[in-house]
């Protein structure tokens, strides 16, 4: 707090200083967005190499991807309380420190547990950032630039995803070079180093965010709520003219006096989320955050390279496709930033969700076209199970030929050199699935099916996996192959059609929900409940995101990519209806004016 007080004691004296400080504020907040984007996007480039070398199951890989989102859930639960207790600025510093700590934990890991905990730390950092940076911007920026300022957070978030993709494409080229000149063992070793180096490359932005956070002032509204009105005024003067600062100080004082008067009169017994004037904006924020993630955005980013590989692109093509995907996100976010304070939040959300629905349905239809050709080689795979009730299968071209020959005429429609295999299996009451193996990948690790990859280690894990399952029986039950789907990996033309639909999805998301969601979250919540309300809403958001990411690979192994994209589109329809019929327009309004709007709507129904 000493740094903050010293810094706040000398506010800018002229307009050039105001502009300079506001620019610095946006850079620091943007670095927070950059870290959040890296949290989401870094796994996209690393996942194919991690999948090829780690020998983790599809469920474990899904958990590694989802661990970031689980960490976000945990930290988001407490982010509002911590932000209120220690201030916005210290929490920004703490979030950067946790991110920096996570990198060596991941990059030096050997095995599932350290990978999980390292990704969990990244998620904890992201959860803190997702609450405190939009909260800090909403409380520090003037109403006229709040939309653009919060857009910078989203803009650099997308830049973080682009940076992660560029690092991924760099290593894709290096992997291709090694594949052309070395044997399988050397290629395997290089892929193992590639995913580790991708994570190391994300360390510098975390350090820069910490250094920048040390130089900004504390939130004026947090200072005002703590009774430090002189410091609040000084903090406002860092980013506003004296006239603007005086006006906002009067608004804060009037809001505080009105709240005090209500408490004295006995008409209110406290300021909680359960008051009617807070319920509507709180529920709107929760629904918007739920639907925003239920579009599948985080899963599509995290699994983008794998999706493009399965759609028919080569390893290099899939990585380039992912780079293009992230660049479109970055560029369209700029467009969204330019329009958000001109066209408004509601207009962009309606436009964005409409385009997302069309794009997701199109991707689903393209995958459905090839998934109809799949054949089930369950009986043949069951015959390969070893006496110890385990299975190791290298799915190369020769293995694909044997399995397809056993499928009869249906198998003749699938080319053995461009086949994919996913196995769904069970031990007793517990089911698991492998990730997709492609016959055209010479360096792919064999599919490994073991009891440990399916049967929970303890009763707690068993309860969450199958509450009515018999754990003891599963520990001795035979391996049962429930389904072994061999599908056709389409040609590159089909892959690029899928990629184009995903680009359209990303463009519409960045234009609307990507820019507006953080604004909706920070603007809808009244001042007194903003930090805690944002935490609760973001917990819902991250729970949905973690759930979708965690089930993604097992779900598509069982039901296909088409079903997953149709599910995402259904959630987006709900998003469109909420944006079109329930969400008010908030552009150009101060936070206090937005609060008054919802208070007036609640007044006729209150005593």
What is the domain partition of the chain in residue ranges?
15-229+235-241+251-260+268-367+495-605, 375-493
> Which tokens sit at 202?
């994300």
Which of the two residues, 349 and 552, has the higher pLDDT score? Answer: 349
Contact status, residue 150 vs residue 522, Cβ threshold 8 Å: yes
> Which tokens sit at 95?
């979030």
Average pLDDT for residues 265-270, to the nearest whole number?
47
Contact status, residue 493 vs residue 555, Cβ threshold 8 Å: no
> By percentage, how much of the chain surpasses pLDDT 70?
82
> What is the model's pLDDT at position 86?
86
pLDDT digits over 172-183, tens only? 788 778 877 777
111: left (phi over 0), alpha (psi -120 to 50) or beta: left
Give CA–CA dist 445/468, Å, rounded. 34
> What is the model's pLDDT at position 606?
45
Which of the two residues, 404 and 240, has the higher pLDDT score? Answer: 404
Give CA–CA dist 423/438, Å, rounded. 12
Residue range 15-229+235-241+251-260+268-367+495-605 in CATH 3.30.1360.10: no
Which of the two residues, 197 and 272, has the higher pLDDT score? Answer: 197
Strand partners for 592: none
pLDDT digits over 492-537, tens only? 888 899 999 999 999 999 888 887 776 766 666 665 666 566 667 7
> What is the model's pLDDT at position 7?
44
Rounded to 5, what percent of the chain is helix, strand, coil?
75, 5, 20
> What is the model's pLDDT at position 5?
41
Q: Read off φ and ψ for residue 449, nearest 5 degrees.
A: -120, 115
Average pLDDT for residues 325-335, to the nearest whole number?
85
Contact status, residue 202 vs residue 103, Cβ threshold 8 Å: yes
Spell out the SS3 assignment of 384-444: CCCCCCCEEECCCHHHHHHHHHHCHHHHHHCCHHHEEEEEEEEECCEEEECCCEECCCCCC
C-alpha triplet 360, 365, 369: angle, nearest 5°? 150
Give kind and range of the element (H or E) at residue 27.
Answer: helix 15-53
pLDDT at 4 over 60: no
pLDDT digits over 436-453, tens only? 788 877 666 788 888 888
Average pLDDT for residues 28-54, to the nearest whole number?
76
The alpha carbons of the chain give a radius of gyration, in whole angstroms, of 26
Which range among 99-103, 415-419, 535-539 shows the weakest confidence by mean pLDDT? 535-539
Which of the two residues, 275 and 9, has the higher pLDDT score? Answer: 275
Give CA–CA dist 18/476, Å, rounded. 70
Contact status, residue 560 vs residue 363, Cβ threshold 8 Å: no
Highest mean pLDDT among 314-318, 382-386, 413-417: 382-386
Give CA–CA dist 406/398, Å, rounded. 13
Which of the two residues, 129 and 54, has the higher pLDDT score? Answer: 129
> What is the model's pLDDT at position 384?
92
pLDDT at 37 over 50: yes
> What is the model's pLDDT at position 277?
64
Beta strand pairing status for 437-438 and 479-488? unpaired
The CA dihedral of 257, 260, 266, 271, to the nearest 10 degrees, is 120
CB-based burial of residue 273 (10 Å sphere; 0-12 exposed, 13-18 middle, 19+ buried)? middle
pLDDT at 558 over 50: yes
Total-model pTM: 0.64
User: What distance separates the 2 farthest-apart alpha carbons in the chain?
Assistant: 83
Closest to 572 measured CA to CA, from 337, 345, 351: 351
Which of the two residues, 388 and 233, has the higher pLDDT score? Answer: 388
Average pLDDT for residues 572-580, to the nearest whole number?
91
> What is the model's pLDDT at position 533?
65
- Arithmetic mean of pLDDT over the chain: 79
pLDDT digits over 287-306, tens only? 888 888 899 887 887 778 87
> What is the model's pLDDT at position 371?
82
> What is the model's pLDDT at position 269?
41
Give CA–CA dist 77/88, Å, rounded. 16
Distance separating the N- and C-terminal Cα atoms of the chain: 42
Which range among 264-268, 310-314, 418-422 shows the weakest confidence by mean pLDDT? 264-268
């Amino acid at each position: 707090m000493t740094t903050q007080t010293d810094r706040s004691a000398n506010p800018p004296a002229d307009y050039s200083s105001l502009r300079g400080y506001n620019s610095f504020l946006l850079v620091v907040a943007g670095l927070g967005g950059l870290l959040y984007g890296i949290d989401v996007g870094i796994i996209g480039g690393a996942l194919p190499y991690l999948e090829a070398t780690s020998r983790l199951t599809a469920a474990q890989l899904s958990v590694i991807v989802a661990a970031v989102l689980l960490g976000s859930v945990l930290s988001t639960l407490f982010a509002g309380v911590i932000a209120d207790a220690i201030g916005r600025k210290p929490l920004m510093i703490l979030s950067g420190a946790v991110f920096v700590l996570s990198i060596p934990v991941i990059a030096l890991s050997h095995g599932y547990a350290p990978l999980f905990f390292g990704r969990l730390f990244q998620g904890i950092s992201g959860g803190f950032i997702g609450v405190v940076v939009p909260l800090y911007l909403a409380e520090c920026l003037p109403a006229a630039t709040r939309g653009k300022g919060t857009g910078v957070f989203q803009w650099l978030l997308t830049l973080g995803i682009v940076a992660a993709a560029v690092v991924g494409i760099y290593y894709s080229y290096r992997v291709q070079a090694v594949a052309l000149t070395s044997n399988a063992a050397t290629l395997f070793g290089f892929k193992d180093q590639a995913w580790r180096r991708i994570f190391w490359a994300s360390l510098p932005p975390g350090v820069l965010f910490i250094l920048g956070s040390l130089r900004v002032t504390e939130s004026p509204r947090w200072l005002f709520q703590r009774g430090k009105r002189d410091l609040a005024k000084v903090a406002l003067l860092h980013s506003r003219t004296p006239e603007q600062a005086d006006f906002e100080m009067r608004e804060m004082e009037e809001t505080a006096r009105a709240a005090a008067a209500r408490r004295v009169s006995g008409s209110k017994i406290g300021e909680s989320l359960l008051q009617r004037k807070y319920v509507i904006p709180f529920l709107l924020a929760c629904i918007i955050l739920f639907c925003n993630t239920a579009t599948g955005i985080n899963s599509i980013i995290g699994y983008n390279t794998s999706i493009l590989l399965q759609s028919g692109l080569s390893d290099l093509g899939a990585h380039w496709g992912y780079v293009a995907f992230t660049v479109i996100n970055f560029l369209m976010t700029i467009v969204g930033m330019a329009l958000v304070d001109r066209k408004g939040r509601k207009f962009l959300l309606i436009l964005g969700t409409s385009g997302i629905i069309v794009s997701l349905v199109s991707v689903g239809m393209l995958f459905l076209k090839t998934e109809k050709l799949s054949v089930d080689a369950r009986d043949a795979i069951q015959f390969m199970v070893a006496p110890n009730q385990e299975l190791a299968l290298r799915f190369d071209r020769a293995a694909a030929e044997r399995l397809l020959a056993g499928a009869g005429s249906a198998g003749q429609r699938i080319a053995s050199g461009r086949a994919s295999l996913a196995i769904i299996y069970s031990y007793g009451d517990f089911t698991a699935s492998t990730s997709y193996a492609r016959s055209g990948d010479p360096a792919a690790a064999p599919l490994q099916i073991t009891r440990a990859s399916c049967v929970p280690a303890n009763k707690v894990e068993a309860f969450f996996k199958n509450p009515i399952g018999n754990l003891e029986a599963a520990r001795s039950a035979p391996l049962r192959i429930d389904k072994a789907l061999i599908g056709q990996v389409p040609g590159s033309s089909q892959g690029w059609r899928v990629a184009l639909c995903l680009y359209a999805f990303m463009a519409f998301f960045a234009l609307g929900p990507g820019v507006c969601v953080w604004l909706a979250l920070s603007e809808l919540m009244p001042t007194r409940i903003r930090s805690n309300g944002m935490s609760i809403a973001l917990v819902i958001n991250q729970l949905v995101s973690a759930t979708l990411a965690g089930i993604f690979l097992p779900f598509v192994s069982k039901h296909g990519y088409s079903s997953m994209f149709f599910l995402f589109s259904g959630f987006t329809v709900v998003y469109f209806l909420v944006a079109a019929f329930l969400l008010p327009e908030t552009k150009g309004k101060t936070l206090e004016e937005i609060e008054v709007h919802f208070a007036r709507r609640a007044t006729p129904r209150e005593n």
